[in-house]
């Protein structure tokens, strides 16, 4: 998901001098992941830096931090030495499933004297972010300053559409925009299999089915 968001943001900001984001710092868990991202976005090397295990350093340097690792890694990563201080007062956006802002704030500030707490919000895009067609759910936060709210919405509108939901509806909204794609693809696979059995090439069947689904989506809208 992090790579999909990065791809959408890089494309959206490529020729936009008014963009609030000009540089991207990516810290990965392994050198293999870092190498794959560097290779994938090698044409953006001047404004993208990718390193393995540079969490604290990049958090210190960045103004906006996007948490895109696996949810079970939250306590370990946010509990690394120096991370709590690096995130003090920062704007932190989480796309971690099942982790509320309060849980993440507690992971960041526990057992540490931090005078300024980070501002943590959560959002849930889907994989269509990579082609800038995501439907992203943002949790409403009435305490979020207006300028940070504008930045949050801008970030995810660069990769698709945005819908804000109350905290008690966030989880079901996340399932709707995320899991629904996987569920619907099962039916599509069955349709494609049937088409192939009747003699249509799978690539042709997929092209026709995808266009039909695009039309269906527009009718629903």
Ordered by start, the domain boundaries in the chain are 2-165, 173-220
**CATH T-level assignment (fold) for domain 2-165:** Rossmann fold (3.40.50)
Average model confidence (pLDDT) across the chain: 92
- Summarize the confidence of residues 77-104 as an average pLDDT: 93
With bands split at pLDDT 50, 70 and 90, how would you rate the model's confidence at 117? confident
Average pLDDT over residues 168-193: 93
Question: CA-CA distances (angstroms) from residue 14 to 26, 56, 190?
Answer: 17, 27, 39
Give tens-digit pLDDT for 13-25: 888 777 888 899 9
- Tell me: the pLDDT tens digits for 123-133? 999 989 888 89
Runs of H (alpha helix) within the chain: 2-13, 31-40, 55-61, 74-78, 83-86, 101-109, 146-157, 170-197, 202-220
Q: How far apart are CA 12 and CA 44, in angstroms?
A: 12
In the numeric block, which tokens belong to residue 53? 């295990």
Confidence of residue 49 (pLDDT cuts 50, 70, 90): very high
Residue 137, number of CB atoms within 10 A of its CB: 25
* pLDDT of 156: 94
Task: Tell me whether strands 134-139 and 119-124 are parallel, antiparallel or unpaired.
Answer: antiparallel
pLDDT of 115 reads 65
- On the question of pLDDT at 181 being above 80, the answer is yes
Higher pLDDT, 108 or 116: 108
């Amino acid at each position: 998901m992090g790579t999909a968001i990065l791809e959408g943001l890089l494309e959206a900001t490529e020729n936009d001098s008014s963009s609030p984001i000009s540089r991207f710092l990516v810290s990965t868990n392994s050198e293999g992941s870092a190498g794959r991202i560097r290779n994938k976005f090698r044409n953006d090397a001047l404004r993208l830096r990718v390193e393995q295990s540079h969490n604290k350093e990049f958090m210190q340097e960045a103004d906006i931090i996007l948490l895109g690792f696996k949810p079970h890694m939250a306590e370990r990563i946010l509990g690394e030495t120096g991370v709590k201080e690096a995130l003090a007062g920062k704007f932190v956006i989480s796309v971690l499933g099942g982790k509320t802002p309060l849980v993440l704030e507690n992971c960041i500030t526990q057992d540490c004297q931090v005078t300024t707490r980070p501002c943590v919000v959560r959002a849930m895009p889907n994989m269509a972010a990579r082609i800038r067609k995501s439907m992203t759910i943002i949790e409403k936060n009435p305490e979020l300053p207006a300028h940070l709210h504008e930045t949050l919405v801008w970030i995810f509108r660069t990769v698709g559409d945005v819908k804000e939901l109350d905290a008690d509806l966030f989880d079901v909204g996340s399932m709707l925009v995320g899991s629904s794609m996987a569920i619907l693809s099962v039916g599509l696979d069955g349709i494609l299999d049937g088409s192939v059995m009747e003699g249509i090439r799978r690539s042709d069947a997929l092209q026709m089915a995808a266009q039909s689904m695009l039309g269906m989506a527009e009718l629903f809208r």
